[in-house]
A and B are shown apart, each in its own frame.
Chain A
Amino acid sequence: MIYLQLFFEFFKTGLFAIGGGLATLPFLQNISEKYGWFSSRELVDMIAVSESTPGPIGINMATYAGYKTANLPGAIIAVIGEVAPSIIIIVLIAHYYMKFNEHPKVAAAFYGVRPAVAGLIGAAGFEVAKVALFNINKYLSTKNVLDIFDVKSLLLFAFILISSNKYKKHPVLFLLAAAAIGIIFKY
Chain B
Amino acid sequence: MKELWKLFVTFSRIGALTFGGGYAMLPMIQREIVEKNRWATEEEVMDYYAIGQCTPGIIAVNTATFIGFRQRGIPGAIAATMGMVFPSLIIISIIAMSFKEFQDIAIVRHAFGGIRVAVAALIANTVLKLLRGSVKDRLGIFIASLSFISVALFKLSPIFAVVASAALGIISKTVRKSEN
A interface vs B, CB < 8 Å? 12, 14-22, 24-27, 29-30, 33, 41, 44-45, 47-60, 63-64, 67-68, 72, 75-76, 79, 82-83, 85-87, 89-91, 93-95, 98, 100-101, 104-129, 131-133, 153, 156-161, 164-165, 170-172, 174-175, 177-183, 185-187
Shortest Cβ distance from residue B144 to the other chain A in the assembled complex, whole angstroms: 4
Count of interface residues, chain B, beta-carbon cutoff 8 Å: 97
> Which chain A positions have C-beta within 8 A of B27?
none
List 20 A-B pairs, Cβ < 8 Å: A14-B58, A17-B58, A33-B155, A44-B116, A45-B112, A54-B15, A86-B57, A89-B55, A90-B55, A93-B55, A111-B169, A111-B173, A112-B172, A119-B145, A119-B146, A153-B113, A174-B122, A179-B112, A179-B118, A180-B111
A98 to B110, CA, bound (A): 50
State the main secondary structure of chain A at its contact with B: helix
Best-buried of B123, B134, B141 by chain A (most CB within 10 Å) = B123
A156 to B117, CA, bound (A): 7
A120 to B156, CA, bound (A): 11
- Given A67-B96, A178-B118, A182-B114; 17 other pairs, CB 8 A cutoff: A25-B123, A30-B157, A53-B88, A55-B21, A56-B59, A56-B61, A63-B96, A86-B58, A90-B62, A121-B130, A125-B127, A126-B152, A127-B152, A128-B123, A174-B122, A175-B119, A182-B113
Smallest CB gap from B89: residue in A: A63
